[in-house]
Structure 1
Amino acid sequence: MPAPPARRARRRLVLAGGCALLLACCGTGGGPALDGAVTASGAAPAPATAPAPATAMGTFGGSVTTEKLPVYWVGAADGGQRLFREFRDAPRGTGIADPIGAAAALMTAGAPQDPDYRTLWAPVDRVGSATSPDGTITVDMPAHAFRADLTDEDARLAVQQLVHTVTAAATLAGLLPERSEPEVVVLVDGEPGREVFGSMRLDDPVRPAEELEAPIWVVDPQQGALTAGTVTISGRVLEGVRGCRWTVTETGGDDAEISSGELDTEGTGREFRAEVVLEPGEYVVTVIGRDAEGRQVLDDKDVVVSAP
């Protein structure tokens, strides 16, 4: 089996500056008892051909099964930072009863598959969580998860990294009411209103800020994926991104573009999907578009294609 290709130079991602950054939050009350604390491995889980399901009891009745945990990471390029999502296999053998807490713990202690991504949190192995009928998610983070070396901008982005991760995990697991607008309350060692990251006070609930998400992200293929023959290219773009196309470039030689095509991103959810058949080799798959100001935005992944 060939090894994944060496990572190319950091992607070029041109983004609008000056986006509003939402402050982090916590309710002023004592908060619910968080008895759903879970443990996640301190290392990224190994890829599994048949991931073990993680099961939780939904707030609104019945059980839910989650084989994948959505985790958001921070990607930086050309002075801009945005949030990118990866779906990770639920850790095996950890007895997960709370996919929200498991995803949050993995966000701090796991390693992103794409080396262009990183986390803004110190590693922890336990995070508690609870959900309420109105769509509020409460997470209880250990105090040592909050790094002291972040700038104010990074601290606000770190809170959004957490808020996006737990909201996505709750949605995927079916733990939120339909058509709710979820918001997140952050406790620190069980206490509300704590000051974290040196200067930020967690006073109010916060909702995910869509403008901090990457304008384009590629979900498939995942970074370093090994596939045979046909490569599926899928992902999503933010509203306002236009003229999207995909390209496939062969690496290890003259980096020649060998295939490309247009993408239809006008459908529900601004999602895209395409398939391309490739000969065995090492490639970079790139999705490129332009934002509302006409600037180029992109995301890319390395992939190894083996013989079918």
Structure 2
Amino acid sequence: MRRGLLLVVLPASLVLSGCVANPRQDITDAGSPTQTVPGPADGTTATSAPLESAQASNKAPVYWIGRSNNNVFLYREFRDVSEDDNPVTRALRVMMSQKPLDPDFFTPWQNPRKLATSISGKNTITVDVSSDAFNSNLDADMAERAIQQLVYTATAAAASAGLTDSGQQIQVVILVDGHTDYVAFNRVRLGAPTSRSAGMVAPVWIIDPQEGTTVADGAVKISGRSTSPGGKLRWEIQKVDGNAKTPYQSGMMTAAADAQQSGLFSFTLNLGPGSYEARVSQVDANGKATDLNVDTRGFTVK
């Protein structure tokens, strides 16, 4: 028993691979996702979002899928969870059964009848889910993102709860009704150990405040992360009045380049009571601000 984690030991008969006849050429493998996401706009080297650190909180890190410009990425929210299951199961249950706070995000997963997780001593998370979780019609790219959504959420929840070794790579094995070789969404074959794919996480990502948060007036801090350390970013605050948005303040900044703060950014403004939207985007290689890979976050000041 590790820090309250409920270990689920699966009988050997349940993890046998099923027979696969006439394999289709359009099916990809979960352990080798296709890289279809373009790199950063400013020409710097992209990185993955770092693994979450252990925290004393009852909130679970949950990843969602969101659109930005003409692409689709993963974004994280921290959500309140019950104490009924272990941390990984709780986070995945939210991902599969609830809606994101941010209306720009969504999830293709369905609430499954059965969901169980366990962690081995080698930092491998096993997720066993019933097949009704996959009752969505997705194209190949979206199916790969959905599998990475699960991988990011499971690894984030385990790391955040202190159940894994942060110095090792964490992998996820997905079983469906106890078996490997299930083809998720008719697109991705499951069962192989799968790690986080760097190309899936959002290039620009506002972490705080979360969507719908209410903060005190005065100094309001906006913080987040870019997968382009040292890259240039443009920020803007808009005042919101019903459906109308009016530019209020804007500026430029640079994401941190050092290893300890890689990609982090923040800025602080004095804001009076009202509704606001924060917008952060990348700047292209020529220094022109063009709202590339923009992320937005609505919040209220009282």
Q: For this structure pair, what is the TM-score category when the shorter chain's length is used for normalisation?
A: 0.7 to 0.9
1:192 alignment partner in structure 2 = 180
Residue 269 of structure 2 corresponds to residue 276 of structure 1: yes
Distance 2:199 2:155 in 1: 16
Distance 1:161 1:204 in 2: 16
Amino acid at match of 1:67: N
Q: Is the 8 A contact 2:139 2:187 kept in 1?
A: no
1:179 alignment partner in structure 2 = 167
Distance 1:261 1:282 in 2: 22
2:280 alignment partner in structure 1 = 287
Cα separation, partners in 2 of 1:283 and 1:178, compared to 1, 3 Å: closer
Amino acid at match of 1:286: R
Q: CA deviation at 1:265?
A: 2.2
Residue 134 of structure 2 corresponds to residue 143 of structure 1: no
1:81 alignment partner in structure 2 = 72
Alignment gaps of 5+ in structure 1: 1-20, 27-62
Between 249-258 and 280-289, the greater mean CA deviation after superposition: 249-258
Tell me the secondary structure at the aligned position of residue 163 of structure 1: helix
Q: Is the 8 A contact 2:65 2:105 kept in 1?
A: yes
Of 77, 85, 96 in structure 1, the residue corresponding to residue 84 of structure 2 is 96
Of 224, 228, 238 in structure 2, the residue corresponding to residue 235 of structure 1 is 224
Residue 72 of structure 2 corresponds to residue 72 of structure 1: no
Distance 2:55 2:247 in 1: 46
User: What's the C-alpha RMSD, in Å, of the aligned pairs?
Assistant: 2.6
Cα separation, partners in 2 of 1:281 and 1:165, compared to 1, 3 Å: same
Residue 295 of structure 2 corresponds to residue 304 of structure 1: no
In the superposition, the TM-score normalised over structure 1's length comes to 0.73
Residue 226 of structure 2 corresponds to residue 220 of structure 1: no
Q: CA deviation at 1:185?
A: 0.1
Q: Is the 8 A contact 1:131 1:137 kept in 2?
A: yes
Q: Give per-residue Cα distances to partners, 1:23-75, cap 9 Å, x unaligned.
A: 3259xxxxxxxxxxxxxxxxxxxxxxxxxxxxxxxxxxxx9954110111000
Between 199-208 and 254-263, the greater mean CA deviation after superposition: 254-263
Between 133-142 and 222-231, the greater mean CA deviation after superposition: 222-231
Q: CA deviation at 1:111?
A: 1.0
Of 91, 116, 119 in structure 2, the residue corresponding to residue 128 of structure 1 is 116
Tell me the secondary structure at the aligned position of residue 166 of structure 2: coil
In the superposition, the TM-score normalised over structure 2's length comes to 0.74
Amino acid at match of 2:77: E
Identity of aligned residues (%): 33
Q: CA deviation at 1:293?
A: 9.0
User: Number of aligned pairs?
Assistant: 247
Cα separation, partners in 2 of 1:237 and 1:129, compared to 1, 3 Å: same
Distance 2:138 2:230 in 1: 30
Q: CA deviation at 1:152?
A: 1.6
1:24 alignment partner in structure 2 = 30
Q: Is the 8 A contact 2:231 2:254 kept in 1?
A: no
Distance 2:28 2:167 in 1: 22
Cα separation, partners in 2 of 1:241 and 1:215, compared to 1, 3 Å: farther
Distance 1:77 1:237 in 2: 14
Cα separation, partners in 2 of 1:254 and 1:106, compared to 1, 3 Å: closer
Distance 1:118 1:177 in 2: 30
